[in-house]
Amino acid sequence: MNIFRLCGDLSHLLAILLLLVKIWKTRSCAGISGKSQILFAIVYTTRYLDLFTSFVSIYNSVMKIVFLSASYGTLYLMFYKFKPTYDHNHDSFRILYLIVPALVLSFVIVHAYTLMEVLWTYSIYLEAVAIMPQLFMVSRTGEAETITSHYLFALGSYRALYILNWIYRYYTEDFLDLIVIIAGIVQTILYCDFFYLYITKVLKGKRLSLP
């Protein structure tokens, strides 16, 4: 554990809880992509199956359980409790275009051919692109609520902080996992356009709207 990893995890946690609290408080999931949330639920489920097979630390296990519960809680709010507020007309990204290639890739580029390893790799590839339906939705509606922008910023920062963590770990522990590093870089790049808008608009108190 290092400071970059810890800040990354906290940023990730903040993002997930921010989204959950926003939906709960406003009793609405307008502007949120249910498809991205489905993808994140698949990501956490396939990655954290190791809760049953390997123990790292109390911290890791608790975080995994929180991520899983918050993710399924978000799906429950979006597709059941506040379903009428779900803006499905604008959530039109075809997620099979992400689910299938990520699955194929996880069989092609993987460290070892075991069920857990392939599922873990799949979760890494899918996470890299899971935000695309949400970014697509923002581009279709041309705007995002401020809380949604904070959510996206925290979620994007998490992987960027993990990149610093991997650099740090490479020098201090000789740790190098190219699958997760390259996927993490792709994931962070997807947010770059959004980061720019966030810094130039939202941080100056303006609403995020596209020209």
Partner 1 sequence: GKPKEGKDEL
By CB under 8 A, residue 14 contacts partner 1: no
Residue type, 85: T
> Of 60, 85, 139, 146, which one interacts with partner 1 (CB under 8 A)?
60
CB-wise, 64 or 140, nearer to partner 1? 64
CB-wise, 107 or 170, nearer to partner 1? 170
Structure-token match 């770059």, residue found? 192
- Contact call for residues 9 and 64 (beta carbons, < 8 A): no
Structure-token match 């400071």, residue found? 3
Residues in binding contact with partner 1, number by CB under 8 A: 22
Q: How many Å apart are CA 15 and CA 180, to the nearest integer? A: 20
CB-wise, 154 or 202, nearer to partner 1? 154
CB-wise, 48 or 151, nearer to partner 1? 48
- Report, in Å, the least distance between residue 135 CB and partner 1: 22
Q: E strands within the chain?
A: 143-144, 208-209
Binding residues among 39-58 for partner 1 as defined by CB under 8 A: 50, 54, 56-57
CB-wise, 118 or 147, nearer to partner 1? 118
- Report, in Å, the least distance between residue 38 CB and partner 1: 20
By CB under 8 A, residue 177 contacts partner 1: yes
- Contact call for residues 205 and 137 (beta carbons, < 8 A): no
The size of the chain, in residues, is 211
CA distances from 138 to 83, 134, 148, 211 (A): 19, 6, 10, 12
Binding residues among 87-126 for partner 1 as defined by CB under 8 A: 111, 120
User: Among the candidate windows 88-96, 135-143, 171-179, 188-196, which touches partner 1 by CB under 8 A?
Assistant: 171-179
Q: List alpha helices for the chain, DSSP H.
A: 3-26, 34-47, 58-76, 96-108, 115-129, 132-141, 146-173, 178-200
The contact set with partner 1 (CB under 8 A) reads 5, 9, 12, 50, 54, 56-57, 60, 63-64, 67, 111, 120, 162, 165, 170, 173-177, 180
